Structure 1
Amino acid sequence: MAASSQTSVFTLLDIGRSLQRMITAHYNKPYWIKTEIAKLNAYTKSGHCYPDLVEKQNGRILAQMRATIWSDTFQSISRQFEDITKKPISEGMTVLVLAKVNYHPNYGFSLNIIDIDASFTLGEMAKEKIESLKRLKAEGIFNLNRSLDFPKVPQRIAVISVQTSKGYQDFINIISKTYSHFNFKIELFPALLQGDNAITSIAEALESIESKTQEFDVVTIIRGGGGDVGLSCYDSFLLASKVARFPLPVISGIGHSTNETLVEMVTYTNKITPTDVAYFFIKAFQNCLDELQDLNDDFKSLVKLKLKDEQQELKQLHYNFKNEVNALLQNHNFHLKEQRQRIKSTLPSLFRKGFDNLDNSSYRLSWLTTQKFQKQQQELVQLSKSLKKESKNQLEHQRQQFHYLSTTLNLLSPDRLLQRGYTLNLVNDKIITSTTELKPGDRLKTMFADGYAESDVIKIKPNENN
Structure 2
Amino acid sequence: MNPLSVSQLTQQIQQVLESELAPVFWVVGELADFRVAPQGHAYFELVEKQENKLLAKIRGNIWQFNYRTIAAKFESITRTSLKNGMKVLAQVSVNFHPLYGLSITVKDIDPSFSLGERSRIRQETIDRLTREGLLRLNGNLPLPIVIQRIAVISSPTAAGYGDFINQLDQNGYGYQVSHQLFPSLMQGNEAVGTLISALDKILFQSENRTFDAVILIRGGGAQLDLDCFDDYELAKKIAAYPIPVLTGIGHERDETIADLVAHTRLKTPTAVAEFILESFRIFEENLGLSLRRLDRATRSKLREESTKIQQLELRLRGKSMQMLNSNTDRITTLSKRILMGANSTLKIQTVELDNLARGIKKSTKLLLDQQEAKLTFLESQLRQLDPEAIFKRGYTRSEVNGSPIGSGDITEGATLKTYAEKMILTSTITQIEKK
Question: Is 1:33 matched with 2:44?
Answer: no
Deviation, 1:322, is: 6.7
Question: Is 1:222 matched with 2:213?
Answer: no
SS of the residue aligned with 1:54? strand
SS of the residue aligned with 2:170? helix
**Structure 2 match to 1:199:** 192
Q: 1:241 to 1:15 in 2, by over 3 A?
A: same
SS of the residue aligned with 2:225? coil
Q: 1:56 to 1:318 in 2, by over 3 A?
A: closer
2:104 partner letter: L
Q: Is contact 2:78–2:222 with CA below 8 Å preserved after alignment?
A: no
Counterpart of 1:263 (choices 254, 258, 261) is 258
- Partners of 2:77 and 2:101 lie apart in 1 by 34
Q: How does 1:15-34 map to 2 (within 5 A)?
A: 19-27=13-21, 29-34=23-28
Cα RMSD (Å): 3.5
Deviation, 1:299, is: 2.5
Counterpart of 2:159 (choices 140, 146, 166) is 166
SS of the residue aligned with 2:113? helix
**Structure 2 match to 1:185:** 178
Q: 1:287 to 1:22 in 2, by over 3 A?
A: same
What does the per-residue CA deviation read over 1:341-395, in whole Å, with 9 as the maximum and x for residues that have no partner?
xxxxxxxxxxxxxxxxxxxxxxxxxxxxxx77987xxxxxxxxxxxxxxxxxxxx
What does the per-residue CA deviation read over 1:80-115, in whole Å, with 9 as the maximum and x for residues that have no partner?
333444543222333221112223344443211111
**Structure 2 match to 1:299:** 294
Deviation, 1:72, is: 3.2
- Partners of 1:373 and 1:34 lie apart in 2 by 120
- Partners of 1:155 and 1:165 lie apart in 2 by 23
Counterpart of 1:289 (choices 269, 284, 288) is 284
Question: Is 1:136 matched with 2:132?
Answer: no
Counterpart of 1:88 (choices 74, 81, 85) is 81
What does the per-residue CA deviation read over 1:131-168, in whole Å, with 9 as the maximum and x for residues that have no partner?
11111111111110111111111111111111221111
Deviates more, 1:246-255 or 1:111-120: 111-120
Deviation, 1:327, is: 8.5
SS of the residue aligned with 2:288? helix
SS of the residue aligned with 1:160? strand
**Structure 1 match to 2:42:** 49
Question: Is 1:236 matched with 2:231?
Answer: yes
The normalised TM-score by structure 2 is 0.67
**Structure 2 match to 1:109:** 102
Q: Is contact 1:213–1:248 with CA below 8 Å preserved after alignment?
A: no
Q: 1:327 to 1:35 in 2, by over 3 A?
A: closer
**Structure 1 match to 2:271:** 276
SS of the residue aligned with 2:35? coil
Q: Percent identity?
A: 35
What does the per-residue CA deviation read over 1:287-345, in whole Å, with 9 as the maximum and x for residues that have no partner?
2111211222222223333444454455556666777788999999xx9xxxxxxxxxx
- Partners of 1:147 and 1:228 lie apart in 2 by 28
Deviation, 1:129, is: 1.5
1:195 partner letter: G
SS of the residue aligned with 1:209? helix
Q: Is contact 2:31–2:85 with CA below 8 Å preserved after alignment?
A: yes
Unaligned segments of structure 2, at least 5 residues: 337-435
The normalised TM-score by structure 1 is 0.63
Q: Is contact 2:30–2:87 with CA below 8 Å preserved after alignment?
A: yes
Q: Is contact 1:227–1:255 with CA below 8 Å preserved after alignment?
A: no
Q: Is contact 1:56–1:63 with CA below 8 Å preserved after alignment?
A: yes
- Partners of 2:305 and 2:56 lie apart in 1 by 94
Q: Is contact 1:82–1:229 with CA below 8 Å preserved after alignment?
A: no
**Structure 2 match to 1:152:** 145
1:255 partner letter: G
Q: Is contact 1:51–1:67 with CA below 8 Å preserved after alignment?
A: yes
Counterpart of 1:245 (choices 234, 240, 243) is 240
1:256 partner letter: H
1:200 partner letter: G
Q: 1:70 to 1:309 in 2, by over 3 A?
A: same
- Partners of 2:325 and 2:263 lie apart in 1 by 79
Counterpart of 1:75 (choices 45, 63, 68) is 68
What does the per-residue CA deviation read over 1:420-450, in whole Å, with 9 as the maximum and x for residues that have no partner?
xxxxxxxxxxxxxxxxxxxxxxxxxxxxxxx
Deviation, 1:53, is: 2.1
Deviation, 1:77, is: 1.9
Q: 1:331 to 1:204 in 2, by over 3 A?
A: closer
**Structure 2 match to 1:118:** 111
Q: 1:299 to 1:47 in 2, by over 3 A?
A: same
Bigger radius of gyration among the two: 2
Q: Is contact 2:78–2:223 with CA below 8 Å preserved after alignment?
A: no
**Structure 1 match to 2:423:** none
- Partners of 2:334 and 2:76 lie apart in 1 by 115
**Structure 1 match to 2:169:** 176
2:223 partner letter: D
Q: 1:250 to 1:106 in 2, by over 3 A?
A: same
Q: How does 1:53-68 map to 2 (within 5 A)?
A: 53-57=46-50, 60-68=53-61
Q: 1:15 to 1:321 in 2, by over 3 A?
A: closer
